[in-house]
Structure 1
Amino acid sequence: MDTRQLRTLMAIVQHGSFGRAAEAVHVTPSAVSQQMRALEDELGTILFQRSSRPPTLTAHGLQVLDMARDILHREEEARAAITGHRVAGTLMLGSVRTSALGLLPRTIKDMRVHYPQLKINLRISNSVGLIADVAAGRLDAAVVAENLALHQSVRWSPFLREPLWLITPRDMATGRDPATLLATCPFVRFQSPVPLASLIDTELAQMGVVTQDVAEMDSVASIMSCVIEGMGISVVPDIALHRDEADNLVRLPFGNPQIHRQIGLIERSRSSARAGVITRFHDILATACGAYGVPRKGAPEGG
């Protein structure tokens, strides 16, 4: 199997046609067709539905595309390790949809200053898929929350440990303790299959509180908007309060002692050519988290 064929396959998918892919990989359209026919013959399967315009990948084609990404990424990493050029190429990152997602754009911007020749590719997905992709080497690292069942081949390092707050409009907070507020005020619930929602629900159950739910949201940003507009009260992580409108809210510790949640990076347990780059990425994330940033422990050397 020729890696040129795999790059051509990825170019077809990226650019949407054989013709535009030919321009991208600097060959003729007929050469692109020949490469794809040769790849199909070698694999013994049809990769494209050529009757459609533009041609679309078959089910087997989608599998080969995933394989191509993996092979080309491993080739790039191996070349970087052998030549010593560990700050070039592509850093493949993933992240869950978290309220900490806002940290990533400026962190990636800072990474470009440190590694101007490094391209960073970010993929948003669920934690199960991200962990599997890191374990398989399809991603170099990913941002996920704690309390997850991890593969033995990956490790998790927190960069953020932050408190959870009960937030209320000022007119609802007067003279009442958190338990009373939770039991009597309209409550906007964070409803999502993620560790943060489970953490909040578990603490509410331990407090013996039955909330007066008026809405269920799967986005912390949406919850913030509802509370700011006076719809009710809720529980959010500290990072969600870093917006000007939140200054008018009352925040009270959630839990006794106050509950915290952690977010961190997963990466492969064994050292790789990207280990030093991932360490720098973690350090920048931790610094961006301010007082709640968690320094990296036992970081591998390299890069």
Structure 2
Amino acid sequence: MIDTRRLRTLQAVADHGTVTAAAAALHLTPSAVSQQLAALEHEVGHRLLVRDGRGVHLTAVGKIMLGHANEVLAQLERARAEVADYTTGAAGEITVACFATAISAVLAPAITALRASAPGLQIRVRDAEGDQSLTMLLDSEADVAITVDYRGAPDPADRRLHRVPLYAEPFDLVLPQTHPLAAEPPHPPTASLAALADETWIGPYPGNPVHDVIAFACEQAGFTPRFAHCSDDFRAVVALVAAGAGVALVPRLALRDMNLQGVVVRNVPGPERHVFAAVRRGAESHPLLRPLLTTLRDLSDRTPT
């Protein structure tokens, strides 16, 4: 009989690429992970992993087992959901990993709404960038991830995840007041990215999903942006623009209620980020998760972007 805990270990190693990283995610020692994998290989009767430098990669049999592991673990999530539905109903605690803008736009309002409609539901929030929250979800450190598509993200068809689309958020161009494009007539207040190919850019660090959106938008306009200043805090980004240090693309909701003194905001066609909620596949019917996912979707329909 195959131990499901060993399937979870195989999944973690496949996700993280090394035994050491998988051990950290599972809160185990590398030695314990290696023992779990060795035991799983003994149960299956085939090698599942091959060392590749400092990392590991799956053998053909390993890939087959990973596919089944994803299905088995998703079915266990469904079983937990049904048992919870039967025994406790919508009372308990869940953890949501979410980036700051979406916390303000939809998660905080959802918590307010659920206080009346699902008083037994307690929500713990963890501020995490989009590339961090999915990892937390897959490592069972969070029950829900509110995140965005980004380079290197799990494919939308990834069978480990159930996605709930929320909203698409445009990006706006933020310019110093002294910039030539800032002096253009504001009707319509649009600008072309192609005209900014030689500018100094301000934006998030590489690895942040917003950095990927900006880089891709500029590539589509025919150039690679030259980032001279980096900050993951959009208020800091806008402050640097106001100081004349460069130009920036900023998600529209991040500019809401922000002090925009010293800058001019222009619409630009094209760049946007697609925000969605994700849970581990099979958990979408859990009585603690259903009301949150439904409320997030309803609020997103009314979120002005």
TM-score range, shorter chain: 0.5 to 0.7
Residue identity matched to 2:164? S
- The sequence identity of aligned pairs, in percent, is 19
Residue identity matched to 1:159? L
Kept in 2: contact 1:227–1:233 (CA 8 A): yes
Tell me what 1:68 maps to: none
Structure 2 residue corresponding to 1:231, chosen from 231, 234, 245 = 245
Alignment of 1:87 onto 2:85: no
Secondary structure of the corresponding residue to residue 223 of structure 2: coil
Unpaired runs of 5+ in structure 2?
A: 1-23, 30-76, 186-190
Shift of 1:236: 0.8
TM-score under structure 1 length normalisation = 0.60
Do the aligned partners of residues 216 and 127 (structure 1) sit closer, same or farther apart at CA in structure 2, a change above 3 Å counting?
closer
Q: Distance in 2 between matches of 1:237 and 1:126?
A: 14
Residue identity matched to 1:194? N
Tell me what 1:112 maps to: 115
Do the aligned partners of residues 283 and 203 (structure 1) sit closer, same or farther apart at CA in structure 2, a change above 3 Å counting?
closer
Equivalences for 1:105-144 in 2 at 5 Å? 105-125=108-128, 127=130, 130-135=133-138, 139-144=142-147
Q: Distance in 2 between matches of 1:115 and 1:62?
A: 32
Shift of 1:154: 1.1
Residue identity matched to 1:174? A
Tell me what 2:275 maps to: 263
Q: Distance in 2 between matches of 1:86 and 1:162?
A: 34
Q: Distance in 2 between matches of 1:247 and 1:102?
A: 22
CA deviation profile, 1:142-174 (whole Å, cap 9, x unmatched)? 111124215412122221201111111332122
Shift of 1:116: 1.8
Q: Distance in 2 between matches of 1:129 and 1:101?
A: 15
TM-score under structure 2 length normalisation = 0.60
Q: Distance in 1 between matches of 2:295 and 2:250?
A: 25
Residue identity matched to 2:273? R
Residue identity matched to 1:100? A
Do the aligned partners of residues 181 and 216 (structure 1) sit closer, same or farther apart at CA in structure 2, a change above 3 Å counting?
farther
Tell me what 1:192 maps to: 206
Tell me what 2:72 maps to: none
Do the aligned partners of residues 217 and 186 (structure 1) sit closer, same or farther apart at CA in structure 2, a change above 3 Å counting?
same
CA RMSD of aligned residues (A): 3.5
Shift of 1:89: 0.9
Alignment of 1:99 onto 2:104: no
Alignment of 1:216 onto 2:230: yes
Q: Distance in 2 between matches of 1:227 and 1:133?
A: 33
Shift of 1:235: 0.6
Secondary structure of the corresponding residue to residue 113 of structure 2: helix
Structure number with greater Rg is 1
Kept in 1: contact 2:173–2:266 (CA 8 A): yes
Q: Distance in 2 between matches of 1:258 and 1:190?
A: 19
Tell me what 2:154 maps to: 149
Kept in 1: contact 2:277–2:293 (CA 8 A): no
Secondary structure of the corresponding residue to residue 97 of structure 2: strand
Shift of 1:111: 2.1
Unpaired runs of 5+ in structure 1?
A: 1-58, 65-72, 293-303
Query: Aligned pairs, how many?
Result: 220
Shift of 1:135: 4.5
Shift of 1:184: 4.5
Kept in 2: contact 1:76–1:89 (CA 8 A): no
Do the aligned partners of residues 99 and 167 (structure 1) sit closer, same or farther apart at CA in structure 2, a change above 3 Å counting?
same
Alignment of 1:174 onto 2:177: no
Kept in 1: contact 2:148–2:275 (CA 8 A): yes
Greater RCO (CA < 8 Å, at least 6 residues apart): 2
Kept in 2: contact 1:167–1:249 (CA 8 A): yes
Secondary structure of the corresponding residue to residue 158 of structure 1: strand
Tell me what 1:282 maps to: 296
